[in-house]
Structure 1
Amino acid sequence: MTNHVFHHSDAGGIRIHVLPTKTFKTYAVSLYAGIPLAEETVTPTALIPFVLRRGTVSYPETTRFRERLEELYGAGFGFDVYKRGDYQIVQFRMDTINDSFVSTKENLLEQSFAFLGEVLTKPALENGSFRSSYVHTERETVRKKLESIVNDKIRYAAERCMEEMCRNEPYRLNALGQRKDLEGITPDSLYQSYQSWLNSVILDLYVVGDTTPEEVEQLVTRYFGLGSRKDAPYQSCFTPKTVSEVKTIEEVMEVGQGKLNMGLRTSITYGDDSYAHMLMYNGILGGYPHSKLFVNVREKESLAYYASSRYDGHKGIATIQSGIEIPNYAKAVDIIRKQLEDIKDGQISELELIQTKAMIRNLLSEIQDSAFEMISYDFNRQLSGKDRSTEELMQQIEATGAEDVKRAAETVQLDTIYFLTGQKEE
């Protein structure tokens, strides 16, 4: 793995991160806009990028907006809305071919900045607020996305488990907002939300490609025009929580297969020196096909259709997802709890360590093959305040032994058991 280093600077109220490289034939541009997750802002914030993608001052009609991307040699433009820790992040992405590979008089990087800057700061308006047709259509889009979660029972169970576990924390909120708040959003109210969002959001702009930090700074100043903003870093509001008793929630719906989810808390987050140990813990527990949950719950006992675990290093939460036959609930809970205890007791084989290291090594080396993956990895540093290259993380993973994983396991506490079931037991 070669070590790629981003150049970090500030300009025009935006933090700028540039990786000059000739490795890729395109420019990858990514703009992250982060704001603390909050009940009153989560829904309008989620809706904003859907409306922004409909049109700008220069390209007010959606068809014209899309044609402009075609004129830029089929530039890619998209966005995502998600949460990292207790922040709601809107990420805009552009992927534009490097001018030297096409015959054009235009500087395509500059044109991409002109386009993205306008998407962010100069939306199409009518009567001083957002176009009502755009707001109504996109409100419907978001509503359908939220409704689709209820229909996808695996996702629904995962969301509900987090809602119950983090009942008094912002993390309970879905990044796409709440259906009940959509109806009340008007073009006027959304435009006001957008203006206050633009003033308070934390902005990080990434560029990977054949350019220089100086060129990018000039383009940001020219096309984003957010000069008076204060550049504030992300605040880590993490406080380890002690679990006094495990919450058990059972919910009845029309399901043929039970969904058993568990929420776990750990004091280890991305900023910790023992983060690598927690990654290894998650890999051995349920991150991969060789993991304990997969082998013991699914294969040996045939208790689950799927069984895996995930770890959010920005929040210090791990989750277990499994799909089971409804009568197997008690047995499945026992076997899953046994896996948690076994790791705490240090029952970790050499093979589990070797296989987990190999899986993480593959993931880390794949980051180097994708400009957007490199950007995504570096953004972890902005969120956590922790500077750790992929090489350093890999060295820490390689150096992790069973004893380190056992120590990480000792910080893990089961917090919530959530079961989505199809019928009440007689």
Structure 2
Amino acid sequence: MFTKSQIEQGVTLYTRKSEQFKTVSFSIKWKSELTEEKAAARAVLANVLQDSNAKYRTQGELRKKLDDLYGTVLYTDTAKRGATHMITLNVDCVNDEYINDSYVLGETLELIQTVIFNPNLVNGEFDQKIVAREKRSVTERIRSQYDNKTSYAQKRMLENLRPNSPVSTSSDGTEQAVQAITAETLLQAYESMIANDIIDIYVVGNIDEQEIAQKLKELLPFKARPSRQQQAFKTDEHKASGDVQHVREKQEMKQGKLHLAFSTPVGFHHPDYSKMQVTNGVFGGFAHSKLFMNVREKESMAYYASSSYSSHYGYLYVMAGIDAELEEKAVTLIKEQLSALQNGEITDLEMEQTKALLTNSITSTFDSARGQIEVFDQYKELDENFTADTLIKAWEAVTKDDVKEMASTIQLEIIYLLSGKETASNE
């Protein structure tokens, strides 16, 4: 799917020639171990690098340059995967062959070089005003999670489930860690990212792969860094204790947020990974799944009910919006849906619909260059010859007995309820 070439030890280029798009898409990913302090510094750093640089000193100057390049898009992002923290620089520019001018790709490459290697420094440090502004921006992003009660409930459940672990660590770090950042420590984070991170560079578009590879090697002079596999940043091994935590918390709100976490030994690198994806789909991953049909539709017990498979941590999460006084009934009904899977109570239609929707999700992802990059960046850890058909064939091969077997490995670890304070007198 992608052509792989080594720029330096620990720095890898992946190119894909495709006439599918009229743009050329770049994605540079810096990967490091995930900690709260690192995540906070790197979240602020990503914002600062996107803001301006040594050549375009203000947001306005940088935006004008992007406009001059026929609306080239440039932005940074942060994310986590397992125990890995990622900073990504994404750039999309029009392919020169679709316009009269032939300078856009070349100048876009030079702009990428500037953003990475020539940040906006004042007297050898990041601009204090920009750092302060982007610290506020990241802090507001962290605080905004409090207003989204579903996200907040998930966050609090994970903090109770696995404190001080990558599982519960945000890709933005903590508010306290953000506040502790200075212009000096941010520069240290930048220098460490440039010198030490594992780097994956992606290019997708109607390109000359050899030519673009040569240009990137010249313009992005990354030095060699310790050679580590992507799997080097793994989460710690975790085994369920058998005891189920039960946590209730209250805020000023109306609808209760019921969140459950189930552990499973089947993670992303496990040979049964595809089987667990199908199992989650039948359990609660889609609108036809057991949780939706029985907890929400049939019993009308929840405003919403679904599950998700967090394969890099080996968890299945269930989320339901309920009236708080129905917590016990809702938990019982959720457990019953899992028991049904464990007993093999699975219909042909549930299997067919799950496989069809999984297939649709991966094929639709491939409709965009960015989707191709993101999917490949993850799945190349399993197989660098990965294609969409690889996954589709694995899902098609899953049987009802496989789902029953996978369900038997799923074990409840925590029940978390976030509800309104007015329910206190009813408990």
Q: Tell me the alpha carbon deviations over residues 163-182 of structure 1, each in whole angstroms, 9 at most, x when there is no partner.
A: 21121422211111100122
Give the counterpart letter for 2:131 in structure 1. V
The residue aligned with 1:99 is 96
Q: CA RMSD in A?
A: 1.6
Instruction: Provide closer, same or farther for how the CA distance between residues 292 and 269 of structure 1 changes in structure 2, counting only shifts above 3 A.
Output: same
Does the aligned pair in 2 maintain the 1:261–1:319 contact within 8 Å? yes
Does the aligned pair in 2 maintain the 1:257–1:323 contact within 8 Å? yes
2:172 counterpart of 1:157: no
The residue aligned with 1:45 is 42
Instruction: Provide closer, same or farther for how the CA distance between residues 123 and 53 of structure 1 changes in structure 2, counting only shifts above 3 A.
Output: same
What is the alpha-carbon distance in structure 1 between the residues aligned to residue 409 and residue 117 of structure 2? 45
Give the secondary-structure state (helix, strand or coil) at the position aligned to 2:377: helix
Structure 1's unaligned 5+ residue stretches are none
The residue aligned with 2:106 is 110
What is the alpha-carbon distance in structure 2 between the residues aligned to residue 380 and residue 418 of structure 1? 30
Please show how residues 247-262 of structure 1 align to structure 2 within 5 Å. Answer: 247-262=245-260
Q: Tell me the alpha carbon deviations over residues 332-377 of structure 1, each in whole angstroms, 9 at most, x when there is no partner.
A: 0111111111111111111100111111111122123111111111
2:194 counterpart of 1:178: no
Q: Tell me the alpha carbon deviations over residues 150-198 of structure 1, each in whole angstroms, 9 at most, x when there is no partner.
A: 0110111111112211214222111111001222211112111221222
Give the counterpart letter for 1:393 in structure 2. L
The residue aligned with 1:309 is 307
What is the alpha-carbon distance in structure 2 between the residues aligned to residue 416 and residue 334 of structure 1? 14
What is the alpha-carbon distance in structure 1 between the residues aligned to residue 324 and residue 366 of structure 2? 43
The residue aligned with 2:400 is 402
Give the counterpart letter for 1:297 in structure 2. V
Match of 1:226 among 222, 226, 229: 222
User: How far off its partner does 1:214 sit?
Assistant: 1.9
The residue aligned with 2:316 is 318
Does the aligned pair in 2 maintain the 1:270–1:386 contact within 8 Å? no
Does the aligned pair in 1 maintain the 2:245–2:414 contact within 8 Å? yes
Instruction: Provide closer, same or farther for how the CA distance between residues 177 and 18 of structure 1 changes in structure 2, counting only shifts above 3 A.
Output: same
What is the alpha-carbon distance in structure 2 between the residues aligned to residue 366 and residue 133 of structure 1? 42
The residue aligned with 2:200 is 204
Give the counterpart letter for 2:77 in structure 1. D
What is the alpha-carbon distance in structure 1 between the residues aligned to residue 185 and residue 42 of structure 2? 11
Structure 2's unaligned 5+ residue stretches are none
Please show how residues 67-146 of structure 1 align to structure 2 within 5 Å. Answer: 67-106=64-103, 108-146=104-142
The residue aligned with 1:263 is 261
The residue aligned with 1:273 is 271
Aligned residue pairs total: 421
2:345 counterpart of 1:347: yes
The residue aligned with 1:62 is 59
What is the alpha-carbon distance in structure 1 between the residues aligned to residue 385 and residue 337 of structure 2? 33
Give the secondary-structure state (helix, strand or coil) at the position aligned to 1:58: coil
What is the alpha-carbon distance in structure 2 between the residues aligned to residue 394 and residue 255 of structure 1? 42
Q: Tell me the alpha carbon deviations over residues 117-148 of structure 1, each in whole angstroms, 9 at most, x when there is no partner.
A: 22122101001110011101111101111111
Percent same amino acid at aligned positions? 31
The residue aligned with 1:189 is 185
User: How far off its partner does 1:213 sit?
Assistant: 3.2
What is the alpha-carbon distance in structure 2 between the residues aligned to residue 383 and residue 158 of structure 1? 27
What is the alpha-carbon distance in structure 2 between the residues aligned to residue 292 and residue 252 of structure 1? 29
Q: Tell me the alpha carbon deviations over residues 23-58 of structure 1, each in whole angstroms, 9 at most, x when there is no partner.
A: 211111111111111133121111110011111111
Give the counterpart letter for 1:397 in structure 2. W
TM-score scaled to structure 1, two decimals? 0.95
Give the secondary-structure state (helix, strand or coil) at the position aligned to 2:349: helix
What is the alpha-carbon distance in structure 2 between the residues aligned to residue 61 and residue 12 of structure 1? 32
Give the secondary-structure state (helix, strand or coil) at the position aligned to 2:102: coil
Match of 1:36 among 14, 22, 33: 33
Give the secondary-structure state (helix, strand or coil) at the position aligned to 2:55: coil
Instruction: Provide closer, same or farther for how the CA distance between residues 148 and 387 of structure 1 changes in structure 2, counting only shifts above 3 A.
Output: same
What is the alpha-carbon distance in structure 1 between the residues aligned to residue 111 and residue 413 of structure 2? 46
Instruction: Provide closer, same or farther for how the CA distance between residues 408 and 109 of structure 1 changes in structure 2, counting only shifts above 3 A.
Output: farther
